[in-house]
Amino acid sequence: MDNQQGTNQPAQPSTPTPDAASATPATPTPDTTVQSSSTPPPAAAMATPGATTVAPSPVPPVTNVPNSPTPPKGKSNMLYIILSIILVLIIAGAVAYFFMHKSAPLPQQMVKKETMVPSPTIASQPTPAITPVTKANVDQTLNNTNNSIQQASTQVNTDLNSISSSDSSQDTTTGL
Amino acid sequence: MNNKVIITIAISATILAQSALPAFAIQSIGGQKLVNQVTREENQSSKAAQRQGTELQNIITRSNTLISNRIASLNELSTRVQNDTRLSTNEKSTISSNIQTAISGLTALKTKIDADTDATTARGDEKTIITGYYVYAAFEPKTRYLVILNNLQTTTVNLQALVPQLQNLINTLKSQGKDTTQLQSLLSDVSSQLQTINTTITSGITTVENIPTTSEPASGTFTSIKTNITQVVKTSFAKIQSDIQQMRPLFKQLISSNSTTPAPSQAATTTTPSGTQISPSPSASPSTTP
C-alpha cells in the first residue's frame, strides 16, 4: 500500500505542469483556468504576467476536458478512485476480518449456552403445594385428604406388623 | 580244637543275645506302658486339634448365617425406605446411610471371621455380630418406627397446611350469611387433634432417635412408642377422618344453598352466590394429597 501511494503521488503534479507550461502560448485561458481550479502551477503563472486578466474568465471546464490534452489528469483521478476503492476494499476486508475473528466465539458461546441448559431434573418429590381451597374444589380436597390419611394409616399398620414379625430373640448371645 | 569252637560259639551266642535284648525289653510291662502313654497323648492332641478345627469351622459357618440373615433384613429395610413416598430427601438419606453403615460393618466382620484361625477369637467375633448391631432387637425396630413417625408427621404437616385454607373458606361462607357453626366446630376439632398428633409424634421421634443400637434396649422401650402410635395418633387421625366426612356434606350444603338459609344476623343484607359457583368442578384437582 505504501509503495503504491509513494510511486503514484509524486507523478501527479509532475505530469500536468509541463503540459500547462507548454500550452500557455497557444491557448492561454483554458489551461490556466483548469489548472487553477485543481492545482495552481506556479511556473505558468510566473511565465505569463499579462494573463492575470484572462485567468478569472469563467470558461466552463466541460468543454475543455475533451479538447485539453490532459487525459493524464483523468487517469490520475481514475487512479485516485481505483486506489480509494482498493483502499476501501482493503479496509473493508480488514474490518471484516477483524469482526470475523471477534465474533467467532459468539456462535460457540451460543452453542455452549444451548448445551449448558440443563434438563429439568427432579431431585426429589417436592412437597405438594396446597392450592387454595375454593368452593369448587373443597369437596374433592377433603376427599383426597381423607384418602391420604387412610393410606398413611394403612401403611402404619403394615410397618407395625413388620416390626412385630421381627424376632428380637435372635439377638441373644446365650449359647454362643 | 574243640575248645576254640566252643568259645567261638559262646561269643556269637552272647552277641546275638545282646542284640535281641531291646526287643524283649518292649515286651516287658514298663516299656509297654510308656508306649501306650505316648500313643495316647499323640491321639489326644490330634483329636483336640481336630476338634478345635471343627469348632472353628462351625463358628465360621454359624457366623456367616447370622450375618447373611441380618444383611438380608437390612437390605429389605433399605428397600422399604427407598420406596417410601412420604419421607423427605434428608430423612431418606439419613436412614439409608445408617442402614448402609450397618451392612458395611457386618460385611467387614464376616471377612474377619472367615480369616480367624482360632476358635476363641472367632467366638468373640461371632458375639460382636449380635452385640455390635442388635439388628433385630434395636436397629430394625428403631428404623421402622422412625419411618412410621416421619410418615405420620408428613401427613400431619399437610393437614395443618389445609386448616387455614378451610378456615378461609368457612370465613367466606360466613361472610355470605351462611351458618358455619358446625363447620367451624369440626375444623376446630381437626386442629386440636392435629396438635395432639404433632406433640406425640415429636416426642416419639426424640425417643426413638435416642435408642442406642449397640446395647440391648430396655424391655418396653418400643412398646410405649407403639402404644402412642396406635392409641393416640391413629385414634386422632380417625377422629379427623370423621370430622372430614361430616364437613363434606356441610360444605356442599352451604355452597349450594342461597344466603337465605340460616343466616343468623346478616341474612337481609347478604348477597346470594350465583348458581355457577355451586357445583364443584370435577376438573379442579387440588394438590393437597400428601
Q: How far is CA B62 from CA B31, B65, B114, B270, in A?
A: 46, 5, 11, 80
Q: Which of A134, A145, A171 sits opposite B162 (nearest CB)?
A: A145
* H or E segment to which residue A3 belongs: helix A2-8
How many angstroms separate the CA atoms of B264 and B262, rounded?
6
Q: What mean pLDDT comes out for the span B262-277? A: 36
Q: At what angle do helices A71-103 and A105-116 cross, to 10 degrees?
A: 20
Residues in chain A closer than 8 A to B255 (CB atoms): 135, 138
Q: Measured between CA atoms, how close is B196 to chain A, in angstroms? A: 16
Q: Can you tell me which residue has the cell 510291662? A: B29
Q: Measured between CA atoms, how close is A97 to chain B, in angstroms? A: 55
Residues in chain A closer than 8 A to B289 (CB atoms): 128, 144-145, 147-148
Q: Which of A124, A130, A152 sits opposite B89 (nearest CB)?
A: A124
Residues in chain A closer than 8 A to B286 (CB atoms): 130-131, 133, 137, 140-141, 144
Q: What is the pTM of this model?
A: 0.58
Interface mutation vs chain A, best among B79, B80, B144, B148, most A CBs within 10 Å? B148
Instruction: Tell me the average pLDDT of chain B.
Output: 84
Q: What mean pLDDT comes out for the span A155-172? A: 89
Decide if B280 and A130 are in contact by the 8 Å CB cutoff: no
Cell numbers linked to B20: 535281641
For residue B167, give the chain A residue with the closest CA: A133
- Model confidence pLDDT, tens digit, residues A86-100: 988 999 888 888 887
Q: What mean pLDDT comes out for the span B270-287? A: 34
**What residues in chain A have their Cβ under 8 A from chain B's Cβ atoms?**
123-125, 127-150, 152-153, 155-156, 159-160, 162-163, 166-173, 176
Share of chain A above pLDDT 90, in %: 16
- Model confidence pLDDT, tens digit, residues B27-76: 556 767 888 888 888 888 888 888 878 899 999 999 999 999 999 999 99
Q: What is the pLDDT of residue A96?
A: 84
* DSSP three-state, residue A11: helix
User: What is the interface pTM, i.e. ipTM, of the complex?
Assistant: 0.70
Residue B269 has pLDDT above 80, yes or no: no
More confident residue, B12 or B218: B218
Q: Measured between CA atoms, how close is A117 to chain B, in angstroms? A: 25
Q: What is the pLDDT of residue A39?
A: 43
Residue A166 has pLDDT above 80, yes or no: yes
Least confident interval from A17-26, A140-149, B132-141: A17-26
More confident residue, A131 or A112: A131
Residue A103 has pLDDT above 80, yes or no: no
- Model confidence pLDDT, tens digit, residues B158-206: 999 999 999 999 999 999 999 999 999 999 999 999 999 999 999 999 9
Q: How far is CA B82 from CA A130, B53, B90, B197, in A?
A: 25, 43, 12, 25
Residues in chain A closer than 8 A to B186 (CB atoms): none
Residue B278 has pLDDT above 80, yes or no: no
Give the model's confidence band at B4: pLDDT under 50 very low, under 70 low, under 90 confident, else very high. confident
Cell numbers linked to B174: 360466613
Count Cβ neighbours within 10 Å for each residue of A154-170 and write b for 16 or more, e otherwise.
ebbeebbebbeebebee
Instruction: Tell me the average pLDDT of chain A.
Output: 63
Domain spans of chain B, in order of start: 34-133, 134-260
Q: What is the pLDDT of residue B20?
A: 57
* DSSP three-state, residue A175: coil
Q: Count A/B contacts: CB-CB distance under 8 Å.
A: 158
Decide if A149 and B240 are in contact by the 8 Å CB cutoff: yes
- Model confidence pLDDT, tens digit, residues B243-266: 999 999 999 999 988 654 444 433
Q: What mean pLDDT comes out for the span A35-40? A: 42
Residues 6+ apart with CB under 8 A from B157: B290
Q: What is the pLDDT of residue B99?
A: 96
Q: Which of B86, B135, B251 sits opposite A138 (nearest CB)?
A: B251
Residue A24 has pLDDT above 50, yes or no: no
Decide if A148 and B137 are in contact by the 8 Å CB cutoff: no
Q: Can you tell me which residue has the cell 445408617? A: B98
Give the model's confidence band at A11: pLDDT under 50 very low, under 70 low, under 90 confident, else very high. very low
Residues in chain A closer than 8 A to B86 (CB atoms): 152, 155
Residues 6+ apart with CB under 8 A from B184: B170
- Model confidence pLDDT, tens digit, residues B75-113: 999 999 999 999 999 999 999 999 999 999 999 999 999
Decide if B158 and A130 are in contact by the 8 Å CB cutoff: yes
